[in-house]
Structure 1
Amino acid sequence: MNERKKGAILSYIQVFLSVVVSMIYVPVLLHFLGQSEYGLYQIVGSFFSYVTVFESCVSAGILRNYCNALGRSDHEEAAVTLSMARSIYRFLAIILDLVGVSVVFAFRSFYAGSFSTSELNESIAILILLFVNMTFTLQGSVYLTVLTGHEKYTFLRILSILMQVIQPLLVILCVSRIPYAITVSVVIVLLNLLTIGIRYGYVTQKLKIRITKQPKDSRIVKNILGLSAAILLGSIADQIFWKTDQVILGRMFNTAVVAVYSVGAQIYMMYMQFGTQVSGVFYPKLSALYQEENGLQKVSDLFIRIGRITFYIILLVLSGFIVFGREFLLLWVGEGYEEAYWVAIIVMLPFSIDLAQNLGLCILQIKGQYGFRAKIYFLSAVLNILTTILFTKWIGIIGAALSTGISMFLTSGLIMNWYFQKRAGLDIRKFWKETLPIIIATLLLTTGALLLKHFLVSERTGSFLTFGLEVILYTTLYGIVMLKIVADRSEKEQFLQIVTSLTLTLKRK
């Protein structure tokens, strides 16, 4: 099994583990911190997220240039790219520290009327910690680029899985003794420093790659910053979509209301992980494929194939949440979070299109066409701020989710599909023709399951055991229907290969 397949499988193991950990972690965290402290942590995280976009944008530009150089076996350009990247990250770290001072003052002014003095002081301390964390993250980002460019997905995913398990355990241990939001931040910063150190050790000791100072190449810097500028605009839009709701709710209401919305947001952010894992694994492959003869046709075919696989996975999660979501929330976080069910569903429905076509964003980056997506999403996100305020005044936190959902449908569902077809050269008509059977089958299964629950299952909270058995039964039925009726021959063969490979691996162990 190659690194991409291993990386994809480990990615979904990581996502599954993330869901399981969250099911345990969030209610325990709520228990020790309480709604106010938990809501406080979410608000600060939302506020800070606007700053983190700079790192991810520059990283995308560096990764594209590095992968293109490796694809052409141009090791000299690859070395220069890493040298330029390190210089850019150091410059960004200095800028970030200066921005941090302004952000701290802006935060204090913005929330002075809705936070207590102790909440405000704790928030400022958390913000300072997060800025320190981001400074170190920038310094270590170049090593993540090396690992991704060399497709070391097994190492990256195993490291992520380990940290995913260690972090909540350590956080719970600490907040049980010191029940404050800042405790969570301290643990996260320390573990992030450990992760950066391990990546550095792998790159320098295992891969034997040293980042040395190279002569400045303005062409490479221009290529990196050109894509980064477009991605920055798109990332700011994404942050507005995902974080502004909580910032506005915190300003209009209180931290307890934000905690309720954050539970729904936690659901659709976990849903995001199911749809975005595969695209990152295929970035280096796409970069090489596009440079081949008839590269665009091959890229389009891969886009459709990955889209189908993604739909199989995300529609199982979406339909399962629609059927079992209310019971899940009651068992997971208890009473008082009923509105989180609708917050999650309203966003997840249109978000499904974006997730299934997530590989398209990588294609736009490789083709240098990401700027259109960035501009459209930014304009839509700015309008989303206004509609969120209006809808929230009318119907509370459901209005905030509705505003985001409508904006996403217009951009991801309509405008971007038009652009993929007309400008990017992807066969969107074929994409929807190939994926429509999966959608129809899921719709029928969801409707049938809801009717059965309505007529055969009494209204009760139940237990984790009963809930787990119901979910396993539905998942099994979904898998049988998709595998026997909807999946094509290549998908069935691929499924059997993965099962066989995993079986052999387990037998060896």
Structure 2
Amino acid sequence: MSTATTLLKGSITRVSQTFISILVAFFMMPFLIHELGDHWYGIWTVVGSLAAAYHLFDMGMASAVTRYVSSAFGKKDNQEANSIINTALVIYVVIALIIILVSIAASYSSRLFFETGSDKDLVQTLVLIIGTSIALEFPFNALAGVANAKLRFHQVALTRIAMTLLGAGLTWWYISQGHGLLALAIITFVTARISNVLYLIICKSAFPGLKFSRKSASWESGRELFQYSAWSFVIAIAYQLRNNVDNFVVAGFLSAASVTHYAVGLRLVDYIAQFLGQATNMFVPIFTGYHAQGNNQELHSKLLFITRINLVLALIAGGGLVIFGQAFISRWMGPDYSDAYWVMVILLVGRMIGFANHPLNSAMYATNKHSIVAKIDIVEVIFNLMLSLILVQYLGLIGVALGTMIPLLLLRLFVLPLFACRAIEMPVKDYYLCMARPLIAICVPLVITFIWVRSSAQVTSYPEIIVSSIVMSFICAAAGMKLAFSPSERTELRKLIPGKKLKYLI
């Protein structure tokens, strides 16, 4: 099976996994809010944001493990691969122990924010369970590079699909029986352990030479991992702050219930971003190969090609959400959550720009110049927090969303391309010019659809929203395939399409 076909297979299963996750969350979110109430669902969201912060303890190590394990496999050096994996395992066990200690401290500290004893006990238990669950996941990060380097994306995706469905089924049953947040935390813990075991089986199958031995760990491998992971750690910090600081700002200046309203808009943006990311964000190993060969011309060509693909997908998905999002939120959550629409639109602008130029991030990782991304992320997070703290006092939820979007828009659209293109010796004008054709090809049908929906169409029910979205997506995709890509790029796309009728479309 060719690399392109393997990547396509992985892309399809990853997209399917994301689609199923979104579909499950689509039904589960209103169910949980109804069963738990705005207050406790908001508390669960804040606990989840706190738990996500524990991933900062990874210190960028997973990206370093992936890179060096991939390099060892490229050289067919199983001994070096085992050395990297076992060294990372020792590091991750130490990190896991630290997280457990921090979770214990955080669980007791959480009692200070509640008045009644029963609420204090429940939140303390939640923080401890979730923290311990995350700590137990960390040792499995030592295998991060195995599945990716061996292109086992489809197997990992199928495992996640199974765990998503299992978790959703258990959650629906126990929450509907009135068991509350404690049951939700236990279900999260159990499904995570099953997922860890299945991931180990996948990695062992992909790499039969995998051996766990403390003797294989080495200081030299550890030094290499830490040298690479330093800037990845900074990026991870920025990522966690960017994704979670909003919840704390909303909870601190408004209320826990407001977090739920903000989460509705944010969740839809996250769904779209996850869906798109699973489809195309798999190119670090490919770019790394071109860089190792010194083939800058092919690196630049593929980078621009993937950027155009990302931009077409971002415009179709993001445009569809803007056009039909208001009707969807009203039908999904009810008219009381209409304020989530503009939160969604504002956040969507920044996230779609970030997705469109994500290939630049991949190129920076592949060429070991990801310090550029890290420095830009630091600036972005600082301005994000400052603007959110200021604007929330005047504009409420909209102010928090603007505080997140504005730095992301400016830095990803203008600053990152300038420095990244210079780093890989590609003219920045080539980067901007590659986006012109997709913008023209997709924006015209999007604007026409938007005017039609706003002026004359009555799109309110789920069937109407779904059918209209499909028709719009088909028209935009056809226009994009015909007009957004060069003849040589359309030839490459045809190779991935199995049917003759589908080939004709592009």
Q: TM-score, normalised by structure 1?
A: 0.91
Deviation at 1:53, TM superposition (A): 2.4
Deviation at 1:371, TM superposition (A): 2.0
Deviation at 1:494, TM superposition (A): 4.4
What aligned pairs does 1:61-140 form with structure 2 within 5 A after superposition?
61-109=64-112, 111-112=113-114, 118-140=118-140
CA contact (8 A) 1:71 1:287 kept: no
What aligned pairs does 1:171-182 form with structure 2 within 5 A after superposition?
171-182=171-182
RMSD of aligned alpha carbons: 2.3
CA contact (8 A) 2:280 2:310 kept: no
Aligned residues: 498
Any idea what the Cα deviations from partners look like across 1:113-138, whole Å, max 9, x if unmatched?
Answer: xx765444322221111111112101
Using the TM superposition, name which of 249-258 and 171-180 deviates more: 171-180
State the partner residue of 2:18.
15
For the residues of structure 2 that align with 1:170 and 1:487, how far apart are their CA atoms?
46
State the partner residue of 1:477.
475
Any idea what the Cα deviations from partners look like across 1:279-336, whole Å, max 9, x if unmatched?
Answer: 5422222222211132x33222221111111122121110001110101101111121
What aligned pairs does 1:88-487 form with structure 2 within 5 A after superposition?
88-109=91-112, 111-112=113-114, 118-204=118-204, 207-208=207-208, 209-278=210-279, 280-294=281-295, 296-458=296-458, 462-487=460-485
For the residues of structure 1 that align with 2:353 and 2:291, how far apart are their CA atoms?
24
Runs of 4+ in 1 over 6 A off after TM superposition: 501-504
Any idea what the Cα deviations from partners look like across 1:129-172, whole Å, max 9, x if unmatched?
Answer: 11111121012222343222221112112112222232222211
CA contact (8 A) 2:65 2:145 kept: yes
CA contact (8 A) 1:388 1:400 kept: yes
Using the TM superposition, name which of 373-382 and 100-109 deviates more: 100-109
For the residues of structure 1 that align with 2:15 and 2:203, how far apart are their CA atoms?
24
State the partner residue of 1:40.
43
Partner amino acid, structure 1, of 2:432: W
CA contact (8 A) 2:65 2:144 kept: no
Deviation at 1:25, TM superposition (A): 2.1
Q: 1:72 to 1:429 in 2, by over 3 A?
A: farther
Q: 1:377 to 1:116 in 2, by over 3 A?
A: farther
Deviation at 1:58, TM superposition (A): 1.2
Q: 1:88 to 1:158 in 2, by over 3 A?
A: same
3-state secondary structure, aligned to 1:322 = helix
Partner amino acid, structure 2, of 1:331: R
CA contact (8 A) 1:65 1:220 kept: no
List runs of 5+ in structure 1 lacking aligned partners: 505-509
Q: 1:376 to 1:290 in 2, by over 3 A?
A: same
Any idea what the Cα deviations from partners look like across 1:416-443, whole Å, max 9, x if unmatched?
Answer: 1111122343443222212222122332
For the residues of structure 2 that align with 1:247 and 1:481, how far apart are their CA atoms?
42
Partner amino acid, structure 1, of 2:252: R
List runs of 5+ in structure 2 lacking aligned partners: none
Deviation at 1:231, TM superposition (A): 1.4
For the residues of structure 2 that align with 1:164 and 1:454, how far apart are their CA atoms?
36
Partner amino acid, structure 2, of 1:370: H
State the partner residue of 1:489.
487
For the residues of structure 1 that align with 2:452 and 2:157, how far apart are their CA atoms?
39
Partner amino acid, structure 1, of 2:46: I
Q: 1:214 to 1:425 in 2, by over 3 A?
A: farther
Any idea what the Cα deviations from partners look like across 1:181-200, whole Å, max 9, x if unmatched?
Answer: 33222111111100111122
CA contact (8 A) 1:445 1:478 kept: yes
Larger RCO, structure (CA 8 Å, separation 6 or more): 1
3-state secondary structure, aligned to 1:462 = coil
Deviation at 1:273, TM superposition (A): 1.1
Using the TM superposition, name which of 176-185 and 445-454 deviates more: 176-185
For the residues of structure 1 that align with 2:121 and 2:425, how far apart are their CA atoms?
52
Using the TM superposition, name which of 251-260 and 368-377 deviates more: 368-377
Deviation at 1:65, TM superposition (A): 1.0
Q: Between the two proteins, what is the percent identity of the paired residues?
A: 19
CA contact (8 A) 1:274 1:314 kept: no
CA contact (8 A) 1:97 1:135 kept: yes
3-state secondary structure, aligned to 1:73 = coil
CA contact (8 A) 1:233 1:378 kept: yes
State the partner residue of 1:507.
none
For the residues of structure 2 that align with 1:207 and 1:372, how far apart are their CA atoms?
33
Any idea what the Cα deviations from partners look like across 1:356-389, whole Å, max 9, x if unmatched?
Answer: 2213223222322222321331233123222211
Deviation at 1:40, TM superposition (A): 1.1
For the residues of structure 2 that align with 1:94 and 1:482, how far apart are their CA atoms?
50
Deviation at 1:479, TM superposition (A): 2.0
CA contact (8 A) 1:25 1:168 kept: yes
3-state secondary structure, aligned to 2:283 = helix
Q: TM-score, normalised by structure 2?
A: 0.92
Deviation at 1:68, TM superposition (A): 1.3
For the residues of structure 1 that align with 2:400 and 2:229, how far apart are their CA atoms?
29
CA contact (8 A) 1:33 1:179 kept: no
Using the TM superposition, name which of 78-87 and 418-427 deviates more: 418-427
For the residues of structure 2 that align with 1:268 and 1:359, how far apart are their CA atoms?
20
For the residues of structure 1 that align with 2:499 and 2:182, how far apart are their CA atoms?
44
